[in-house]
Amino acid sequence: MLSLAVSWDLYTQTRSALVLGNVGFVQVAPFLFFALIAGHVADRYDRRRTMVITQMLALASSVPLLIGSRSVAVIYACLFFLALGRAFQWPARQALLQHIIEPGTLSNAITWNSSAQETSSITGPAVAGLILAVTGSSVVYLIFALCAACALACFFAIGYRSAPAGDRPAPTGKSLLEGMHFVWNNKLILSAISLDLFAVLFGGATALLPIYAADILHAGARGLGWLRTAPSVGSVMMALTLAHLPRIRAAGKALLWTVAGFGAATILFGISRNLWLSLAMLFLVGAFDNVSVVLRQSLLQTKTPDYVRGRVLAFSSIFISSSNQFGAVESGWTAAWFGPVISVAGGGVATIVIVLICAALSAPLRHWKSD
């Protein structure tokens, strides 16, 4: 909801695509600059307390939007501090997960969490659009503040089922990079993260959906809304399916096949001229991506020792945030050079090639079995 509201306010003020584009940079910069420090904080200090403090920062970031001038500078500043709080909160929240759930339910918990996130991704912009049309952005900012306060209350209420490790290493420059070293030395985790990084970098088509809606599928603004929603619907449906199925045992093979399926669906979307076929392929893109997210998160949670888990998760967040943002840049550049169809379909082909390379070079990934 917040993303839609600030985009609307910025564009109505400036009519500038550059101002809108900078929103992504403002929000990804804290992850790129502070992720390693955030992981160190998550491993050295009480994770629940870190979540509470960062959520207070998120709540404070809503105040200028409620009472301020909402100039470009004010909106950018609020988004930056909100992203800064999320950058420090994400590794602490993810690393705490194993200590607040029953043993043996980690994969299912990750699946339900993914389902909740995708559901909010679908409903949030739709609800925000209705509110903007009826009352304007002020009500959206008020709802955001109320949601931030509700989340803060939830973090205060978290209780540990198992105590996190109390042995925290002294802060040193080397300890900041320990998560990076752990990932580099664990070939299974490195292969899984790299596979996701390059698949999203080359296989993402989201940035070009307006071109497809307007010029290729001739579906207009309403069709664009359907195209943006289809991957999230597919992700939610897959998450609900996985939550009620037995755990995937041959996790490595499943990850390789689902990323290959992601690439194949991207190719078919890229060359499609039929709206319904395009929607179906985007639905599959979201479904395959959800399987990949669940398997990758389960791997990071189960194969990483608690004392370094925050730093490993923080390091992986650099991959996730950068691949999404730079993937959009890659799509835009290749579309400008070769056209949108070659950009999207070629990205899907590149994704399948990457899967083949990873399968050939990474025996640990091929033989990975979930615990």
Rounded Cα gap, residues 128 and 134, in angstroms: 10
Tokens 């699946």, located at residue:
111
pLDDT of residue 308: 84
**pLDDT at position 317:** 75
Residue 361 has a pLDDT of: 87
H helices of the chain, in order, are 2-14, 17-44, 47-67, 72-96, 106-134, 137-156, 173-176, 178-185, 187-203, 209-211, 220-243, 251-271, 275-303, 306-338, 340-361, 363-366
What does the pLDDT read at residue 286? Answer: 87
The parts of the chain modelled with pLDDT lower than 70 are: 16-18, 20-21, 161-176, 203-204, 207, 210, 221-222, 225, 321-332, 371
State the DSSP string of 139-193.
Answer: HHHHHHHHHHHHHHHHHHT---SSPPP---PPP-HHHHTHHHHHHHH-HHHHHHH
Q: How many whole angstroms separate alpha carbon 2 and alpha carbon 143?
A: 9
- CA 307 to CA 85: how far, in whole Å? 22
Instruction: Check residue 40 and give its pLDDT.
Output: 86
- Report whether 137 contacts 68 (CB < 8 A): no
How many whole angstroms from its chain centre is CA 45?
25
pTM for this entry: 0.72
Asked if residues 344 and 209 have their Cβ atoms less than 8 Å apart, the reply is no
Quote the CA–CA distance of 61 and 150 in Å, as a whole number. 15
* pLDDT given for residue 330 in this prediction: 65
Distance between CA atoms of residues 319 and 75, nearest Å? 26
